[in-house]
A and B are shown apart, each in its own frame.
Chain A
Amino acid sequence: MNKATRSLLALAVAGALAVGTASADIPNNTIKLGVLSDFSGLYKDLGGDGSVVAAKLAVQDSGIEKKGIKVEIIQADHQNKPDVGSAIARRWYDSEGVDAIVDVPTSSVALAVAQVTKDKNKVFLASGPGSSDLTGKSCSPNTIHWTYDTWMLANGTGTAITKHGGNTWFFITADYAFGHALQHDTTAAVEKAGGKVLGSVNVPISTQDFSSYLLQAQSSKAKVIGLANAGGDTINSIKQAGEFGIVKGGQQLAGLLVFITDIHSLGLQTAQGLTLTTTFYWDMNAQTRAFAKRFAPLDKGIHPTMVHAGVYAAVLDYLKAVEALHDVKDGVKIVDEMKKMPTDDPLFGKGSIRVDGRVLHPAYLMQVKTPAESKYPWDYLKLVATIPADEAFRPLKDDGCSLVK
């Protein structure tokens, strides 16, 4: 072809590309979110189906669909296995066009997914896992860690109990990333408050029978038995501790990570008096109550846990950032935008996101009510103290995160 035709063609192609790229920032005007959670195992009640419900409610409340952008939500079960979780994440990012993954309540899976997300430059809204390494030595510019972490739990529950006289501890620890992180952070908090750790025992995740581990805890004569586990493991530990007369024998149980679904499973008779730290409680204020009222009928009557609330808040904030940038493809860019904007949602209130990916909002020290104190269904907790956002989470300088200059 001659020069004129070629330049015309080039112009046409450039024009097409320019137009193409503008709308390719949100391809097909659709954002695809993946809820990766435990749908069949020991964490299925605190995350699972409820997380999908929370994500859908967030999409509704964001109003983004009224602006012409569609949001598609898919889900998958990582079965608490890092290899399964990272394989699903890879497949989602590579061949199913997923833009962001949310939830992942299991820390070992979360660490694997964070790595995959970084490699593919997508966004990981870690609203479910606990390990403080996600904003520490394993921090990433593509991860935002919502809701809670092991440092916050240790410094909430651990410090409070030690200061109240529980100064010798024995840990029953779930033998994987989360349990180890929780034990490590709580040991630091206990020792800082003047206490001592007498020993610990590692227990495989999803153990049904804790009798021999509880016996070891009993014979250590520690004043406090720290349960560095969660979900079904915590429920079984507490139930069986009751069987073996551990609390009657004078030792105190410290549930380091307790969800409202655990208390519902245990019943107030067994769980009363337990101290726990949380960043969300459904009965805190009018806005949280309104959310719970919408959530419960959609999740078999279960009232939202802080993990469910975390999914809601994270998705809401993510959609805000994507809308502001009009770009869903560059993960680091979206995360940076989220770090610039303050967070504000009806469940956690006002907060901010730090350079290491940690979301800051207040934490609440709460205690489980006695059966007599509970006046209506799911009325389980009473507020003991509020820990302000700047004190609740690990200081930046202690992080060990490469993003902190």
Chain B
Amino acid sequence: MIDIVGKRKWYFLISVCLLVPGIISMLAFGFNLGIDFSSGTVMTLRLSQPVEQAALRQQMSDLGFSDATIQKTSEGDFLVRTRDIDSDEKIALVDGLKKGLNIDVTIRDFATVSPMVATEVARNAAIAVLVASIFMILYIAFAFRHMPSPFKWGFSAVIALLHDVLIVMGAFSILGWLTGYQIDAMFIVAMLTIVGFAINNTCVVYDRIRENVRKGINKDFAITVNSSILETMARCVNTSLVVILTGLALYLFGGVTIQQFILALLVGVLVGVYDSIFVAGPLLVLWDRGLKTESKAA
């Protein structure tokens, strides 16, 4: 039998290696915040003729938008980010670009958020994540109320959850300064979906441990946990694979608007598989025995 629980210190070490760079990045650089949290304007411009990015940048700065960041999308449109502007400024900007570059310009999408709203969004998103997590933990505690020391289950589930969320947040903090990935409201949605998914996976593993403890398949709790993990492994991998397959299809063919969201989701699901096999179960054993290697799993 494959011994996952016995080698738990190595798997915890892998988790620490995944966690540390992200946490350092979050503490040192924070996140690259999108307009939902930092206020400002994002718009996608479609130009009737190809224009050099440098020419567009020059024209923007001539019009008083020297702070604007411009990115070319894979579809040949330009994604422009700047401070929050009102209708008159928007019209003036488009007219200015049309005249300055001598082409036609259409705004494909436009979003602007004022600083006041941005502060509220950040606060409410934090509350939403907290409230959702608390309710999910309460539900788990309720579902495992008949087990000895139910706290152990609840706390382990919370730690497994934080593990997933922190790794994904860390990854996107790093991506923020490496590739310019911006955290927006949809990222919060992705995080909550990951939280749901992680709890979901942990539930299935713990569910099996609970069942096996009741059946009394082995006196040794560590061995019971290990067999439960192995029994649920196929399910965890296959379920995640199915979500990854659909997610990948959306990422590759679904268009740029939701690509970042799907990427966050995919990373979360991958971390979730690792967590449900190598972290969630062993955490329960850690609670009782620390990192000591116990009698060999049969």
Asked if A and B are interacting partners, one says no
